[in-house]
């Protein structure tokens, strides 16, 4: 075992650890494996759910590791933080070297240079061929930019290169990941995700903040002027649409229509069509008990006495489709304040035998409904970080994957051919920062043409 | 309504089957002539397939529905098969080797067969639900599936690599089937080439998906199982690329990682729909 360099401080060792590719690989794989957990385990349920569904030990583990919301758990955030540190330290550590390489002149011509290059080949030609830049350029198929003369101990030398900038590609990618992380942090610190339910005609200036029990007051109010939904001929939903207006200090400032995929932004706060519901308001029933027939108008959730009887009715629920039988009204019958019966009354099937409470037959004549529109209300000042980060990442990938810094050295020396005649030797060497195999193949193909 | 595109697509399904069969026969019997037939057949099938997709698009307009045929599991499988054929044909032109076809074309056939013969598959042209009414849908689906197809081809190449690796040709005249496979180094390079195409397109697919999610639901990322599995896939390939570019991993290890990566792709595509649940619920359609 060799002794460690004593000048290497603990700091640089820690630095090396955080800069290492090994750490990056471990983090990427650990993130991939742990991410599976949250796709298998239901997320965001109340703790009681996990206590009921899992063993005591599992429920304790789920609570401790915050697996009920694992992507926001302390340890998952730590893994992401470590990845960010890894990206920053490795980029900072490597960048000066890259910068030096980019700024430095090409390596000087020598025999040892050609020996060290992944591709090098000697070609022999008769004298007076390949003397100038143009001929070198055409020899290499004009693939590497302009040949630049280099000084050499003997003969002439040229240097060609392309794709020097591609050495920056990896930093662009790493920076883009950090920008996306920054966007997520900015969004969670300075933004919010809220929810708002509005009845038609109602207005509101407070929204519920998701994931907490708090409300947030907006400095304007939103009114739902109208909600509309439309269907395709086959019954599939076609469009959910809310007509909104924005009010400030009693003045209408703006109107907007929002649909799914078509939100509206006011003062940096965006409203998305998220859900809808239908609440019955007024209900008209026909009641029949023996020969006695009556009509009753009542409001949802209000216990309404049936005139001239000891009975009272209360509608407690209305659903649009009960087991494919269409709309149904949940009704309770009271006698002298005591519940005596309850049932679903099918609105579209007046003859249905179950449409009765005790011995009273009930028909639904009319249910007036009012729409409620559910709006997602968000503010995310980090969103531009996300879009810029994503674009940079793609740009970085293209630079990293499809461009490589390729360098070619050509050394032309006079040399007697095997018959003792005058001739020249062309030493050609090349290297690439990435994908050297491809460069070697390319050089072989280029030079094979010349030799024929 | 009987549709012409459905008829063409059933021809395409059988076309991929026979094309895969001819590639296999050509390899096993070492008949290059049969291989040429396989290539010609594959090109013909690919053109018919392209026509069928365009026709289905036109038919959707004739039905008054009018959207790109990329909206449900059936249509995505049809498109997936098309992208596999496309990427494979590119690899065949690039390598002038037909042996890869033996491993790549069955994926195209399997995707078509699954779309055509699965009893629960809904192949009707249906209008788009409100959440799907976005141009980002087209960008998202095209980029994701081109990426998936590149990974599928990379997986085929990795299988070939692993078959060939333990028995390197002792001499060039070796008559073994494996001697017909491209050189180990060529396979290794192609695995990398197809993975970077896939990785670029997967990234683009995730990005277009987030833009769409942001306009539909207000969040660009919600850790829905499909999103998370696409991220898991992305992380596996990111690790592979770091291992290859920075650690100099080559050959066997990269081939295995590429197969694991494609297993993640398959889980993202199918597993999430049938085993897990979430926003991308077309599996139940």
| pLDDT tens digits along A262-287 | 999 999 999 999 999 888 888 999 99
Phi/psi at A22 (5° precision): -60, -45
Angstroms from A51 CA to nearest CA on chain B: 21
Q: What is the pLDDT of residues B212-240, one digit of tens each?
A: 999 998 899 999 899 999 999 999 999 99
Are B189 and A438 an interchain contact pair (Cβ–Cβ within 8 Å)?
yes
- Residue A212 is predicted with a pLDDT of 79
Interchain proximity A383–B229, CB inside 8 Å: no
Min CA distance, B232 vs chain A (Å)? 5
Residues of A within 8 A of B130 (CB-CB) are: 237-240, 259-261, 273
Given this model, what pLDDT does residue B168 score? 56
How far apart CA B167 and CA B155 sit, in angstroms, is 20
Q: Are the Cβ atoms of B203 and A43 closer than 8 angstroms?
A: no
Question: Over the stretch A162-202, which tens digit does the pLDDT of each residue have?
Answer: 999 999 999 999 999 999 999 999 999 999 999 999 999 89
By the 8 A CB rule, do A381 and A199 touch? no
User: Is the four-CA dihedral B179, B184, B188, B189 of positive or negative sign?
Assistant: negative
Q: What percent of chain B has pLDDT over 90?
A: 65
Query: In Å, what is the CA distance from A293 to each residue of A285, A360, A366, B28?
Result: 11, 10, 17, 86
Give the ipTM: 0.91
Ranking A414-428, B13-27, B141-155, B262-276 by mean pLDDT, the lowest is A414-428
CB A284 within 8 A of CB A297: yes
Residues B229 and B275: beta-carbon distance below 8 Å: no
Answer positive or negative: Cα dihedral of B112, B116, B120, B121.
positive
* DSSP character at residue A262: B
Per the CB < 8 A criterion, the answer to whether B159 and B181 are in contact is no
B245 to chain A, any CB pair closer than 8 A? The answer is yes
Highest-confidence range of A135-149, A356-370, A409-423, B79-93, by mean pLDDT? B79-93
Please identify which residue in the block is written with the tokens 């062309």. A426
The residues, ordered by sequence, that sit 6+ positions from A213 with a Cβ below 8 Å of its Cβ are none
Pair B135, B208: CB distance under 8 Å: no
- Quick check: pTM over 0.90? no
Give percent above pLDDT 90 in chain A.
57
| B278 pLDDT above the threshold of 70 | no
Residue B12's H or E segment, with its range, is helix B4-28
Average pLDDT score over residue span A407-422: 81
Distance CA A158, CA A140 (A): 12
Nearest to A397 among B203, B214, B276 (CB): B203
Asked if B220 has any chain A CB less than 8 Å from its own CB, the reply is: yes
What Å distances lie between residue A164 and A98, A287, A392, A402, CA to CA?
10, 88, 19, 13
E strands, A102-181, in order? 119-126, 148-150, 156-162
pLDDT at A309: 87
The answer to whether residue A20 scores a pLDDT higher than 60 is yes
Written in H, E and C, the secondary structure of A347-414 is: CCCCCCCCCEECCEEEEEEEEEEEEEEEEEEEECCCHHHHHHHHHHHHHHHHHHHHCCCEEEEEEEEE
**A232 close contact with B: CB closer than 8 A:** yes
Give the residue from A117, A163, A158 showing the smallest Cα distance to A140. A158
Q: What is the pLDDT of residue B266?
A: 95
Please identify among residues 80-139 of chain B the ones whose CB lies closer than 8 Å to any CB of chain A. 126-127, 129-131, 133-134
Chain B residues lying within 8 Å of A238, measured CB to CB: 127, 130
> What confidence category does residue A151 fall into, taking pLDDT thresholds of 50, 70 and 90?
confident
Assess whether pLDDT exceeds 70 at residue A2: no
Report how far residue A77's alpha carbon sits from residue A66's, in angstroms, rounded to the nearest whole number.
11
Q: Which two tokens stand for residue A230?
A: 């439309």
CA dist., res. B152 & res. B106, Å (int): 11
- As a whole number of angstroms, the distance between CA A433 and CA B1 comes to 59
Among A157-161, B21-25, B35-39, B168-172, whose mean pLDDT is lowest?
Answer: B168-172
Q: Which helix (H) or strand (E) holds A333?
A: strand A328-335
Residue A73 clears pLDDT 80, i.e. is over it: yes
Q: How far apart are CA A37 and CA A41, in angstroms?
A: 6
- Structure token pair of residue A36: 């599976």
User: Which uninterrupted H or E stretch holds A219?
Assistant: strand A215-231
pLDDT at B279 over 70: no
Distances (CA, A) of B104 to A307, A445, B88, B177: 78, 28, 7, 17
Residue B171 pLDDT class (50, 70, 90 cuts)? very low
Write out chain B residues lying below 8 Å of A93, CB-based: none
A49-63, A137-151, B67-81: segment of lowest average pLDDT: A137-151
The predicted structure's pLDDT at residue A29: 96
Contact A238 B228 (CB under 8 A): no
Instruction: State whether residue A274 is helix, strand or coil.
Output: strand
Of the candidates A21, A24, A261, the beta carbon closest to that of B216 is on A261
Name residues whose C-beta falls within 8 Å of residue A385's C-beta, 6 or more positions apart in sequence.
A179, A180, A182, A183, A184, A186
pLDDT band at A1 (very low <50, low <70, confident <90, very high): very low
H helix intervals, A72-192: 74-103, 111-116, 133-139, 169-190
Of A437-441, B56-60, B100-104, minimum mean pLDDT range: A437-441
What is the Cβ-side half-sphere exposure of residue A18, based on CA atoms within 13 angstroms? Answer: 18
pLDDT at A270: 95
pLDDT given at position B284:
38
Closest CA to A380 of B222, B25, B78, B82: B222
pLDDT tens figures, A360-402? 899 999 888 889 999 999 999 999 999 999 999 999 999 999 9
Q: A238, B130: Cβ pair inside 8 Å?
A: yes
């Amino acid at each position: 075992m060799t002794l460690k360099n004593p000048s290497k401080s603990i700091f640089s060792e820690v630095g090396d650890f955080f800069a290492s590719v090994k750490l990056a690989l471990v983090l990427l794989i650990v993130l991939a494996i742990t991410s599976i957990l949250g796709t298998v385990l239901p997320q965001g349920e109340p703790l009681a759910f996990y206590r009921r569904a899992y063993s005591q030990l599992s429920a304790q583990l789920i609570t401790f590791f915050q697996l009920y919301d694992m992507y926001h758990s302390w340890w998952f955030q730590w893994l992401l933080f470590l990845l960010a540190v890894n990206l920053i330290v490795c980029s900072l550590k490597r960048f000066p070297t890259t910068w030096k390489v980019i700024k430095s002149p090409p390596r000087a011509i020598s025999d040892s240079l050609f020996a060290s290059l992944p591709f090098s080949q000697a070609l022999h030609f008769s004298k007076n061929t390949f003397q100038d830049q143009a001929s070198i350029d055409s020899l290499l198929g004009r693939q590497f930019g302009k040949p630049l003369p280099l000084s050499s101990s003997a003969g002439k030398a040229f240097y060609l290169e392309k794709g020097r900038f591609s050495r920056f590609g990896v930093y662009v990618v790493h920076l883009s990941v950090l920008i996306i992380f920054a966007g997520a942090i900015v969004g969670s610190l300075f933004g919010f995700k809220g929810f708002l339910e509005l009845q038609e005609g109602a207005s509101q200036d407070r929204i519920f903040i998701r994931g907490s029990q708090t409300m947030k007051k907006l400095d304007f109010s939103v009114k739902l002027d109208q909600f509309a939904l439309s269907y395709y001929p086959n019954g599939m939903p076609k469009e959910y649409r809310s007509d909104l207006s924005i009010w400030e200090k009693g003045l209408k400032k703006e109107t907007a229509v929002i649909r799914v995929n078509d939100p509206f932004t006011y003062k940096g706060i965006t409203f998305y069509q998220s859900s809808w519901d239908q609440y019955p308001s007024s209900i008209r029933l026909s009641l029949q008990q023996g020969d006695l027939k009556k009509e009753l108008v009542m409001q949802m959730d209000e216990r309404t006495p049936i005139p001239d009887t000891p009975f009272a009715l209360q509608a407690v629920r209305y659903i649009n489709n009960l087991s494919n039988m269409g709309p149904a009204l949940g009704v309770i019958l009271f006698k002298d304040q005591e519940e005596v019966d309850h049932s679903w009354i099918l609105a579209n099937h007046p003859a249905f035998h179950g449409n009765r409470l005790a011995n009273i037959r009930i028909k639904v004549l009319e249910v007036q409904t009012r729409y409620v529109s559910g709006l997602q209300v968000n503010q995310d000042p980090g969103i531009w970080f996300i879009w810029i980060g994503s674009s940079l990442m793609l740009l970085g990938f293209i630079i990293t994957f499809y461009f490589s810094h390729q360098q070619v050295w050509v050394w032309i020396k006079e040399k007697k051919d095997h018959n003792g005649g005058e001739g020249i030797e062309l030493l050609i060497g090349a290297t690439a920062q990435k994908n050297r195999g491809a460069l070697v193949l390319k050089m072989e193909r280029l030079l094979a043409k010349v030799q024929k | 309504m009987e549709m012409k595109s459905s008829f063409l697509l059933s021809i395409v399904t059988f076309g991929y089957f026979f094309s895969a069969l001819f590639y296999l026969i050509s390899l096993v019997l070492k008949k290059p002539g049969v291989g040429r037939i396989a290539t010609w057949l594959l090109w013909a099938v690919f053109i018919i397939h392209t026509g069928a997709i365009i026709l289905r698009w036109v038919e959707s307009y004739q039905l008054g529905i009018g959207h790109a045929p990329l909206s449900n599991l059936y249509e995505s499988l049809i498109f997936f098969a098309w992208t596999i054929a496309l990427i494979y044909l590119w690899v065949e032109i690039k390598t002038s080797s037909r042996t890869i076809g033996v491993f790549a074309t069955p994926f195209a056939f399997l995707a078509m067969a699954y779309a055509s013969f699965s009893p629960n598959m809904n192949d009707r042209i249906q209008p788009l639900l409100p959440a799907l009414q976005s141009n980002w849908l087209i960008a998202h689906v095209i980029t994701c599936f081109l990426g998936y197809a590149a990974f599928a081809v990379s997986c085929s190449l990795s299988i070939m690599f692993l078959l060939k690796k333990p028995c390197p040709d002792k001499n060039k005249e070796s008559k073994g089937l494996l001697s017909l496979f491209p050189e180990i180094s060529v396979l290794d390079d192609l695995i990398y080439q197809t993975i970077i195409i896939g990785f670029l397109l997967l990234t683009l697919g995730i990005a277009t998906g987030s833009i769409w999610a942001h306009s539909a639901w207000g969040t660009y990322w919600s850790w829905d199982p499909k999103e998370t599995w696409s991220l898991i896939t992305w992380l596996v390939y990111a690790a592979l690329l770091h291992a290859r570019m920075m650690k100099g991993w080559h050959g066997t290890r990269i081939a295995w990682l590429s197969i694991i990566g494609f297993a993640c792709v398959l889980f993202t595509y199918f597993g999430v729909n049938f085993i897990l649940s979430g926003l991308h619920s077309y599996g139940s359609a």
